[in-house]
Amino acid sequence: MYRKTVKFTPEDIEVFKDKLLSWAQQFEEVAWLDSNNYHRRYSSFDSIMAFDALTSIQTDTYDAFEKLKEYQSVSHDWLFGYLSYDLKNDVENLKSGNFDGLEFPDLYFFQPKKIVTIKEGVAEFHYLPMVDDEVEADYEEINSFQESSTYETGNTGDVKIKLRIHKEEYMAKVKKMLDYIHRGDIYEASFCQEFYAEDTELAPLRSYKHLNEISKPPFATYLKIRDQYLLSASPERYLRKEGSKVLSQPIKGTAKRAQFLKADVQLVNSLRNNPKERSENIMIVDLVRNDLSRVAKKGTVEVEELCKVYTFEQVHQLISTVKAIVPDETNPIDIIKATFPMGSMTGAPKISAMKIIEELEETKRGLYSGTVGYFTPVGDFDFNVVIRSILYNATKKYISYSVGGAITARSIPEKEYEECLIKAKAMREVLEGKLNNQKV
């Protein structure tokens, strides 16, 4: 679909980005994806904003991928939105019966009237014909926007967090998962737990900005769908397609940051050479290779990087990069369906791991460990993994964040619990208003 494109060069691109995000809160649908200038080889934009839906699709898990495929084929336009983890039930004969405090739709995408892309200091406005006469006025409004104009009620920093699974129960569940591993049912599984707050109002935009400031991740997301919000500091890419090239960058293996450089370097080297952390990552790389081989041209699936350490504000991570070539006629939705849910959030073998996850976890994952991203009009796409994220249902006044880790035969329950607390640190600081290092 045709869009009018107008380029601007703001005086200060970081100030412009901040004002753009605040100004866009007047709309019911907002999707903001920000790399935080974390430049990698595989990137189309530094940031991208979509807002003001012309059309949308919302559905449960039943036949969800086919419904999305039909919606995309009809629109032939940019689409922004998410796939929840529970679309596993559309891919395989699985079910989701755990508690759901958030009640987000299982799938949601929208076709925006207005898109703003930012790259190398240039802001490009891509507007549909019915609103293309608003480009210049919107740009002026954004530049003159005052932060005080964004009125948000709700908490920022004094939320009282509860645990869905307490420490003793967590230990027991990990031991049960280890029993499955030792019995040979699975090799690895991602086990997650929820932290939550009820009857609590949150100021979502201010909370997102705080979370992003202390994490500065390469796949940050602010998603607003009416009264439902995702505030994500994700470091992980799920899947990207550009032309016939597809790549996935699974994360498995985590180490905390140290205050001083020498100690931090030691932690990097320890993570790089840790047999347990490397085995976690390599098992998921094998799973991703297998998933991509379903849709790739024969012999094109390859591992470009294996267990490379990447450093973020809060943690060090082991990241691998897996690439493949797909036939030109392959539908982009079929590529996602063949690899969904992402291996880093399931385990191996995948179906067995998902069944055990459902049995042992207490909460429906929903958008957590799902994916947010976009499709272009020509069928390219880029999606993250929804981790290190706060989810908020404003109508229900329910706040949730979940964290987890890969359980393997080498896992020590106490260490796994400590890793969860490391991953939860940024979200907890945002919600409680202080760094909380105490054990819970």
Name the residue type at position 308: K
* Residues in a beta bridge with 195: 163, 401
| pLDDT on residue 151 | 60
Q: Which residue's entry shows tokens 């709309």?
A: 27
Name the residue type at position 299: G
Element (H, E) at 197: strand 188-197
Q: Is 433 helix (H, G, I), strand (E, B) or coil?
A: coil
User: Does the structural domain 4-432 have CATH classification 3.60.120.10?
Assistant: yes
Cis ω for the linkage preceding 204 (within 30 of 0): no
Quick one: tokens of 13?
A: 């691109």
Name the residue type at position 275: P
DSSP-derived secondary structure for 75-129? H-S-EEEEE-GGGHHHHSS----SB-SS---SEEEEEEEEEEEEETTEEEEEE-G
For the annotated catalytic residues, the residue numbers are: 236, 252
| pLDDT on residue 436 | 42
Rounded Cα distance, 361 and 365, in Å = 9
Q: Is 391 helix (H, G, I), strand (E, B) or coil?
A: strand
| pLDDT on residue 148 | 66
Rounded Cα distance, 321 and 373, in Å = 18
Quick one: tokens of 57?
A: 């699709």
Rounded Cα distance, 398 and 102, in Å = 6
Q: Is 425 helix (H, G, I), strand (E, B) or coil?
A: helix
Each of the 440 residues of the chain gets a pLDDT tens digit; together they read 799 999 999 999 999 999 999 999 999 999 999 999 886 678 899 999 999 999 999 999 999 999 999 999 999 999 999 999 999 999 999 999 999 999 999 999 999 999 999 999 999 999 999 999 999 999 999 999 987 656 676 777 789 999 999 999 999 999 999 999 999 999 999 999 999 999 999 999 999 999 999 999 999 999 999 999 999 999 999 999 999 999 999 999 999 999 999 999 999 999 999 999 999 999 999 999 999 999 999 999 999 999 999 999 889 999 999 999 999 999 999 999 999 999 999 999 999 999 999 999 999 999 999 999 999 999 999 999 999 999 999 999 999 999 999 999 999 999 999 999 999 999 999 999 864 433 32
Rounded Cα distance, 119 and 23, in Å = 19
> Which pTM value belongs to this model?
0.95
Q: Contact, 29 vs 224, CB < 8 A?
A: yes
Helices H / strands E in the chain, number of each: 11, 20
Question: What does the DSSP 8-state code read for residue 155?
Answer: B
